[in-house]
């Protein structure tokens, strides 16, 4: 049967309403947690959570979350709603099993077509257990210094322009960072000053170690982790103990897009490749799709939701992975985030259009291509079904 691609919503309100309707029809109980910010239409914004319980106390839990990065909610909402409207209508949770489907963890970003929340916070850099690294971690100090050098490129204080030579600017900045990194290497390891390919690789490495891992000094900048817990973070931190209860086992899938090959996916783990947890996920879901978070596809970030849940659920055997689906190139993803951030902060002048950067962000994280949507829908549903099977059979 062809996939029903209408499950991918045109906006946050449509996604939320269809999710709620499908969850109720599937026999779920619902929670709705409102944030203070409002949507573009002035309407309420909520994190909606659907629960389906088997008989008895929950001993095994599956958590399926989406939209932590707001604009990625178009994709995650589609996967969650599609499952509720199909398999979820007849699925009966076994005794002791609880399914939790958390929709639009960043409702502001979803509604306003942003990655970030109402305070420009990247929620997946905001779940910090402590902030000691800000003052005593040499790696973060280096990252902070490099970000300061990248700031003039990343965070222009003016509306975006389609005519800007963005690609050229990025390549020149990467080469400059490569030259700086070259100066830090031992003389015997330094590439020649005109070895552009090697210098570019060094500069790209600096980008990867710095840009996406989070920064905590520039509130209007990309990848800002916040000065304290965001509203959505506080909601999840407060509700998590009740959601999981006294369960001995929890498996958490957090759906994301924007990294990796077109329509392909990786299950990204905070655990290293040789850990027991990584071996368990590889055994249950396939070694070919499992990667450490700092592997070939992604990068190690501070303050992720998985890191916090792992810390908070100390008495539970908790397994987390980010199900990351590929869309466009990293260069295009960065361009979309950068232009939208400029438009959001500096584009509210007469004659300035906010619409094209917003549309670009949605396309970047949930491509309109029917082929892409059909493929990721099939694969996303497969991951969810596999998680339920694994959890049912786990002890």
How far is the C-alpha of 342 from the C-alpha of 218, rounded, in Å? 14
Window from 38-52, 74-88, 206-220, 304-318 with minimum mean pLDDT: 206-220
Mean pLDDT of the residues in the chain: 92
d(CA 81, CA 8): 8
pLDDT of residue 187: 81
- 316-357 pLDDT, tens digit each: 999 999 999 999 999 999 999 999 999 999 987 655 678 899
**How far is Cα of residue 55 from the mean position of the Cα atoms in its chain?**
33
* pLDDT tens string 46-81: 999 999 999 999 999 999 999 999 999 999 999 999
The whole-number pLDDT of residue 230 equals: 98
pTM: 0.94
d(C-alpha 43, C-alpha 203), whole Å: 44
- pLDDT of res. 349: 64
Check pLDDT > 50 for residue 395: no
Report DSSP letters for 50-63, one per residue: EEEE-SSS--EEEE
* Domain extents in the chain: 5-128+230-327+366-392, 133-210
| Position 1 pLDDT exceeds 50 | no
- Token pair 């830090």 is found at 184
pLDDT of residue 348: 72
Give the pLDDT score at 394: 61
pLDDT for 351 equals 58
- Whether pLDDT at 299 is above 80: no
Three-class DSSP labels, 239-308: HHHHHHCCCCEEEEEEEEEEEEEECCEEEEECCCCCCHHHHHHHHHHCHHHEEECCCCCCCCCCCCHHHH
* Reported confidence tier of residue 2, pLDDT bands at 50, 70, 90: low
Spatial distance between the Cα atoms of 309 and 61, rounded to a whole number of angstroms:
13
Indicate if the pLDDT at residue 270 is higher than 90.
no
Q: 244-266 pLDDT, tens per residue? A: 999 999 999 999 999 999 999 99
Of the listed ranges 171-185, 213-227, 366-380, the least confidently predicted one is: 171-185
pLDDT at 170 over 50: yes
What is the mean pLDDT of the segment spanning 210-215? 84
Percentage of the chain beyond pLDDT 90 is 78
pLDDT-based confidence at 207, cuts 50/70/90?
confident
Least Cα distance to 279 among 287, 289, 267, 288 occurs for: 287
Q: For 88-139, what is each residue's pLDDT tens digit?
A: 999 999 999 999 999 999 999 999 999 999 999 999 999 999 999 999 999 8
pLDDT cut 70: percent of the chain above it = 98
- Identify the three-state secondary structure at position 114: coil
CATH of 5-128+230-327+366-392, one of 3.40.50.12280, 3.40.630.30, 3.40.630.10, 3.40.50.300: 3.40.630.10
């Amino acid at each position: 049967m062809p996939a029903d691609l209408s499950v991918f919503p045109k906006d946050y309100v449509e996604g939320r309403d269809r999710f709620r309707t499908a969850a109720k029809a599937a026999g779920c109980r619902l929670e709705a947690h409102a944030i203070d910010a409002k949507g573009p239409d002035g309407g309420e914004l909520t994190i909606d959570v659907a629960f389906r319980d088997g008989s008895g106390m929950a001993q095994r839990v599956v958590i399926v979350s989406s939209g932590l990065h707001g604009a990625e909610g178009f994709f995650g909402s589609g996967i969650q709603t599609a499952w509720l409207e199909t398999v979820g209508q007849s699925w009966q949770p076994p005794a002791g099993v609880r399914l939790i489907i958390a929709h639009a963890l960043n409702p502001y970003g979803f509604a306003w077509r942003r990655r970030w929340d109402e305070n420009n916070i990247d929620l997946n850099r905001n779940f910090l257990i402590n902030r000691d690294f800000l003052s005593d971690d040499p790696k973060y100090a280096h990252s902070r210094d490099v970000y300061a050098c990248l700031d003039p490129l990343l965070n222009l204080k003016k509306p975006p322009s389609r005519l800007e030579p963005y690609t050229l600017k990025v390549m020149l900045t990467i080469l400059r960072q490569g030259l700086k990194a070259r100066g830090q290497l031992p003389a015997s390891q330094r590439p020649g000053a005109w070895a552009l390919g090697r210098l570019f690789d060094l500069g790209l490495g600096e980008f990867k170690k710095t840009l996406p891992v989070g920064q905590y000094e520039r509130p209007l900048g990309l990848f800002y982790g916040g000065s304290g817990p965001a509203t959505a973070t506080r909601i999840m931190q407060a509700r998590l103990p009740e959601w999981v209860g006294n369960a001995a086992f929890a498996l958490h899938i957090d759906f994301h897009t924007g990294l990796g090959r077109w329509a392909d996916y990786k299950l990204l783990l905070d655990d290293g490749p040789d850990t027991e947890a990584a071996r368990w996920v590889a055994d249950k879901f396939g070694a070919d799709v499992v990667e450490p978070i700092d592997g070939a596809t992604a990068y190690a970030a501070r303050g992720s939701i998985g890191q916090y849940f792992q810390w908070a659920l100390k008495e539970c055997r908790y397994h987390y992975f980010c199900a990351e689906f590929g869309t466009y190139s990293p260069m295009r993803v960065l361009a979309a985030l950068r232009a939208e951030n400029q438009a959001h902060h500096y584009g509210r002048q007469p004659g300035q259009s906010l619409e094209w950067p917003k549309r670009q962000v949605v396309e970047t994280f949930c491509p309109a291509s029917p082929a892409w949507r059909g493929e990721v829908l099939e694969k996303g549903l497969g991951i969810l079904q596999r998680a339920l099977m694994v959890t049912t059979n786990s002890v």
